[in-house]
Homo-oligomer: A and B are copies of this chain.
Amino acid sequence: MTCVLCNEAGGQLVWQGANLRLIRADEAGFPAFYRIVWNAHVAEFSDLAAAQRQHCMDAVALAEQVLRRQLQPGKINLAALGNVVPHLHWHIIARYDWDSHFPAPVWAAAQRPRNAEREAAVAAQLPAVDAALQQAFAGFDEKQELLAPINK
């Protein structure tokens, strides 16, 4: 059985580290939708050793902080589901009170029509967001390798 996240980046690759990577997803209605993907194939968060879990969540929090600083969203949503692709990945989603689903989860039924103008305004900021993420993540994996026993 092949795993799509073992074989492909899984989205627009923003930053690639030795242990994990940051991608930008293409999910209609949610322009600022990123994912941290653990490079090695594990299904569950608790399949990671403690130091690996810490490293993974440091990356999630770092991405969250950059999204908050760059975009001032109304809320950040974090989730590791993996029901369809059981390879550990964390959704990091900037939510706005005007988005089509707020306050419902992005996977629920829409609450209102999409707002193309406001979505486009967020999308226009994504190159700057990606650049800020790349700057924030520079050296992230290398630094952590000194501190933590890492997969493989």
Contact = CB atoms under 8 A, between A and B. Distances in A.
A44 B64 CA distance: 9
Given A107-B104, A109-B109, A61 B45 contact: yes
18 contacts: A43-B75, A44-B64, A44-B75, A44-B76, A45-B61, A45-B76, A46-B64, A46-B68, A46-B76, A57-B57, A77-B82, A78-B80, A79-B80, A83-B103, A84-B103, A105-B105, A105-B107, A107-B107
In the assembly, how many copies of this chain are there? Answer: 2
Interface in A56-81: 57-58, 60-61, 64-65, 68, 75-81
Given A44-B64, A46-B64, A80 B82 contact: no
Interface pairs A-B: 5 shortest CB-CB: A83-B103, A79-B79, A105-B107, A107-B108, A46-B64
A86 B79 contact: no
Given A44-B68, A104-B107, A105-B107, 6 more contacts: A43-B75, A46-B65, A75-B82, A77-B81, A78-B81, A108-B108
Interface of A: 43-46, 50, 53-54, 57-58, 60-61, 64-65, 68, 75-84, 86, 95, 102-105, 107-109
